Amino acid sequence: MRTQTRQGLRSSTRQRGGGRRRAVTAAAAVAVGVMALGALAPPAASAASGSAASAASGSAASAARPDAVQQALDALVRDDGMPAALASVRDRNGRTRTYTAGVGDLTTGAKVPGDGQVRIGSNTKAFTAVVVLQLVGEGKIGLDATVDTYLPGLVRGEGIDGRRITVRQLLQHTSGLPDYGIHLDDDEIRNRYFEPRELLDIALRYEADAAPGEKWGYSNTNYVLAGLIVQKVTGRPLAEEMDRRIIERVGLRHTYFPAPGETTVREPHPQGYHRNPVDGPLRDFTELDPSAGWAAGQLISTNSDLNSFFTALLAGRLLPAAQLAEMRTTVPAGTSGLRYGLGLTSRPLSCGGVYWGHGGDIVGYETRGGVTDDGRAANVAVTTIPTDEAAAQHVKDAVDRALCG
Residues designated as active site: 122
Buried b (16+ CB within 10 A) or exposed e, 51-83: eeebeeebeeeeeeeebebbebbbbbbeebbbb
CA distance 176 to 169: 9
What values do phi and psi take at 382, rounded to 5?
Answer: -125, 160
**What would the 3-class secondary structure string for 323-385 be?**
HHHHHCCCEECCCCCCEECCCCEEEECCCCCEEEECCEEECCEEEEEEECCCCCEEEEEECCC
Number of helices (H), then strands (E), in the chain: 13, 16
- 41 Cα distance to chain centroid: 26
DSSP assignment of 152-191: TTT-EETTEETTS-BHHHHHHT-S-PPPGGGG-BHHHHTT
**Distant-in-sequence, close-in-space partners of 283: CB < 8 Å, separation ≥ 6:** 32, 33, 34, 273, 274, 275, 276
- According to DSSP, the residues that pair with 156 across neighbouring strands are 161
CA dihedral 208→238→298→118, nearest 10 degrees, is -150
CA–CA–CA angle 306, 275, 19 (5° rounding): 105
